[in-house]
Amino acid sequence: MDNQPKNQISKKGLRVWRLYGIIQTTVLLLLAVGASILTYYLEGPGWLYGIYAAIPILFGFLFIYLFPKIRWQRWRYEVREQEIELQHGLFIVKRTLVPMVRVQHVDTEQGPILRKYDLAEISISTAATTHTIPALITAEADELRARISVLARVAEDDV
């Protein structure tokens, strides 16, 4: 849609998503190896091996390469004085607008993998909804959290 929000999330976020993809693909690969061994001992038909090979490759391509790339390119956010605007989505692009006045609290969160990459995700809660920006540099996330909470306090309800 027209004029997208300005900021992108950290390039490292893309790496983290790729890492998630690698982990998932590895699990799938192990399953495929297990199935191959089983097929070998049970003397199953040969074409099954082809399927076992194809699934992890396709999965890896999608979840390590393609999807993180699209997701990362699409993820945009912008925190302005009066509102927060988010855009994300893989197949379905979602554009969200949250006025500062409605923001009730802001959280940052960091799992082990995110910590390793010095990243954090930030969740913005209103009275009825929660919105998350994944993968921001920790310092940036902290600063953003502080800024949103200041802006949310300042923004007065004059509508």
Partner 1 sequence: MSEKRYKLHPVSAFINFVKGLKELIIPFVVIFGVNIFRDGGVSAMFTGGWIELLPVLIGGVVLLFLLIAGIIKWKRFVYWFEDGELRIEYGLFVKKKRYIPFDRIQSLNYTEGIFHRPFGLVKVKVETAGSGKMGEAEAELTAISREDADRIETEMEAAKRGFREPASAVEHPSEEQAEIPEEKKDARMVYRMNMRSLLILATTSGGIGVVLSAVAVFFSQFSELIPYDAIYEEVMVLWRFGALIVALLVFIGLAIAWVISVILTVLANYQFTIYTDEDHIYITRGLLEKKRVSVPFKRIQGVQVSQNPLRELFGYATVTVESAGGSIGDKDEKIRLFPLVKKKDMIPIVAELFPETNWTPEMTKAPKRSLRFFYRLDFLWMIPLIGVLSYFFFPLGLLSLLIVPIVLALAVWQHRTMGYALIGKQLTMEFRGISKHTFFMMKKRIQAIEVTQSYFQRRKDVASIQATIKSGMLGATARIDHMDRQDGTRILEWYEPSKQKLAAHEKGQPELSG
Residues within the interface to partner 1 (CB under 8 A):
1-2, 6-7, 78-83, 85, 89, 91-102, 126-129, 131, 140, 143-144, 147, 155, 157, 159
Q: How are beta strands 83-88 and 103-109 bridged, if at all?
A: unpaired
Cα gap 50→47, rounded to integer Å: 5
Q: How far is the CB of 131 from partner 1 (least distance, A)?
A: 7
Scored b (16 or more CB within 10 A) or e, 42-77 reads: eeeeeeeeeebeebbeebbeebbeebbeebbeebbb
Which is nearer to partner 1, 43 or 158 (by Cβ)? 158
Q: How far is the CB of 111 from partner 1 (least distance, A)?
A: 23
Which is nearer to partner 1, 32 or 85 (by Cβ)? 85
Phi, psi of 106 (to 5 degrees): -125, 135
Q: How far is the CB of 58 from partner 1 (least distance, A)?
A: 19
For the record, the structure tokens of 8 come out as: 């992108």
Which is nearer to partner 1, 56 or 134 (by Cβ)? 134
Which is nearer to partner 1, 96 or 149 (by Cβ)? 96
For the record, the structure tokens of 57 come out as: 């490759």
Q: How far is the CB of 85 from partner 1 (least distance, A)?
A: 8
